[in-house]
A and B are shown apart, each in its own frame.
Chain A
Amino acid sequence: MLTYSYYPGCTLRTKAKELDAYARASAAALGVELVELPEWQCCGGVYSSAGNEPVTKLAAVRALIAARDAGTPLVTVCSACYNVLAQVNHELRTNPAFAAKVAQYLELAAPYTGETEVLHLLQVLRDHVGFEAVRAAVKHPLTDRRIAPYYGCLLLRPGKVLQFDDPENPQTLEALLTALGATPVITAERNECCGGYRVVEDASFAGQRSDAIAASAADFGAELLITACPLCRYNLQKTGRLPVVYFTELLAEALGVKEAAQHG
């Protein structure tokens, strides 16, 4: 059994419950134990690159410290939470002055300097479980289904910090889809921005961005888009061009645990 601390994030408790439920059910089916942190707060949604912005990062630091104290890596499944947790952790690991300032704010006995390993669930599946083991656990292969992975920004950039995958030619979601028996459809826009949080201020701009992504997927013959990000899903769904689901839903479906997760 592989055991991890688990950070769901605010949206997975509200508008993206299925992202969370299918992740937990799929993890359990693959022998991965996700132990939710006893306390966690919203990560803030976005990481600030400014060097004098410690306060907005403290919620992430608390989660990172809790995982360190539990002696496990910290796993999350939302792209935004992953991006914030990983970038804050990197800042603490590489900037002693920042770590010292954070230690003052949180009244830590000793600075936390980024010891925790932050992982997206996709990295757990790829690097710890292994896609071969995922393939072996598939009960309902997604045969003949043409599915376009959409990474967006937050899973991939900045590439030097996250080191999740090649930011210009990622392979992780494609390899997962192949393991599930589906046909991955690679599109030109899979790592371009959906319009993100600017939808709050200008829905038509976000609509244009997302439409370019969805249109590209449709042009390449995809029947479905998958993402790990609730905001990307929201923006892409608004285009009405093709259905958009979380990668965890397809995973749960292929592993034969989808219905159980819905009623869990």
Chain B
Amino acid sequence: MADTTEILRMSGVDPRKCMRCGKCTATCPSYNEMDIPPHRFVYLVEQGRVETLLSCRTIWKCLSCFACVERCPRGVEPAKLIEALRLTKLRPQGGDHLQPAQLADIEDDDLPQQALVSALRKFSK
């Protein structure tokens, strides 16, 4: 299982730059659904709490919209940390969050291919 060093290397993020202003969480369109909001997520990476983060809901709720990345006054880029944790969770065998078989129930006539491709990229390996 990945340690903090690996998460930092994958993401290219330095969580020590965070000054805990909370702007990432304030601007996150998904924060209400997260158990660990973005500013706290950054703090827990800094604290080395990788196991906690691998089992949190936040990694499936992030939209990769990059609002937090764009608006962080310190250039911390929280979404890149969430991406690194999500991939670390997905990569081991059996780590998929979304199975292709589930898609048949979801798809309607108008759903664009882009939605399926993107969701499978974000939620499965």
Chain A residues with CB under 8 Å of chain B are 9-11, 14-16, 42, 44-46, 48-53, 56, 78, 80, 153, 156-159, 167-168, 192-193, 195-201, 203, 205, 209, 229-231, 233-234, 237
A-B contact pairs, 15 of them (CB 8 A): A10-B113, A46-B117, A46-B122, A49-B12, A49-B83, A50-B11, A50-B80, A51-B11, A193-B65, A197-B63, A197-B114, A198-B30, A200-B115, A201-B123, A205-B30
Q: How far is the CA of A46 from the CA of B67 in the complex (A)?
A: 15
* CB closest residue in chain B, given A238: B110
Chain B residues with CB under 8 Å of chain A are 9-12, 29-30, 33, 60-61, 63-67, 69-70, 77, 79-80, 83-84, 87, 98, 103, 106, 110-119, 121-123
Q: How far is the CA of A199 from the CA of B106 in the complex (A)?
A: 9
Q: How far is the CA of A14 from the CA of B110 in the complex (A)?
A: 10
Most chain A CB inside 10 Å of its own CB: which residue of B83, B98, B111, B118: B118
Chain B residues within an 8 Å CB radius of A192:
29, 65, 67
Candidates A48, A158, A209; contact of B83 at CB < 8 Å: A48
User: Secondary structure of the B side of the interface?
Assistant: helix
Candidates A15, A49, A153, A234; contact of B11 at CB < 8 Å: A49
User: Secondary structure of the A side of the interface?
Assistant: loop
Candidates A11, A156, A193; contact of B114 at CB < 8 Å: A11
Chain A residues within an 8 Å CB radius of B113:
10-11, 14-15, 42
Q: How far is the CA of A156 from the CA of B10 in the complex (A)?
A: 23
Given A11-B113, A200-B115, does the pair A158, B66 have CB atoms closer than 8 Å? yes
Q: How far is the CA of A44 from the CA of B122 in the complex (A)?
A: 10
Complex contact A205–B121 (CB within 8 A): no
Chain A residues within an 8 Å CB radius of B65:
153, 157, 192-193, 196
Q: How far is the CA of A56 from the CA of B60 in the complex (A)?
A: 19
Chain B residues within an 8 Å CB radius of A16:
112
Chain A residues within an 8 Å CB radius of B33:
205
Complex contact A200–B121 (CB within 8 A): no
Q: How far is the CA of A167 from the CA of B65 in the complex (A)?
A: 12
Q: Taking the nearest CB of chain B, how far is it from the CB of A78, in angstroms?
A: 7
Complex contact A153–B67 (CB within 8 A): yes
Complex contact A197–B115 (CB within 8 A): yes
* CB closest residue in chain B, given A196: B63
Chain A residues within an 8 Å CB radius of B12:
49, 51
Given A49-B79, A49-B83, A153-B66, 17 additional A-B pairs, CB 8 A? A10-B114, A14-B112, A15-B113, A48-B121, A49-B80, A80-B118, A158-B69, A192-B65, A192-B67, A193-B29, A196-B64, A198-B119, A201-B119, A205-B33, A230-B114, A231-B112, A234-B115
Complex contact B98–A195 (CB within 8 A): no
Q: Taking the nearest CB of chain B, how far is it from the CB of A79, in angstroms?
A: 9
In the A-B complex, the 8 residue pairs with the closest CB atoms: A45-B118, A193-B65, A197-B118, A200-B119, A45-B117, A157-B66, A230-B112, A153-B65
Complex contact B29–A209 (CB within 8 A): yes
* CB closest residue in chain B, given A167: B70
Given A44-B117, A49-B11, A51-B9, does the pair A197, B122 have CB atoms closer than 8 Å? yes
Q: Taking the nearest CB of chain B, how far is it from the CB of A91, in angstroms?
A: 11
Chain A residues within an 8 Å CB radius of B83:
48-50
Q: How far is the CA of A219 from the CA of B61 in the complex (A)?
A: 28
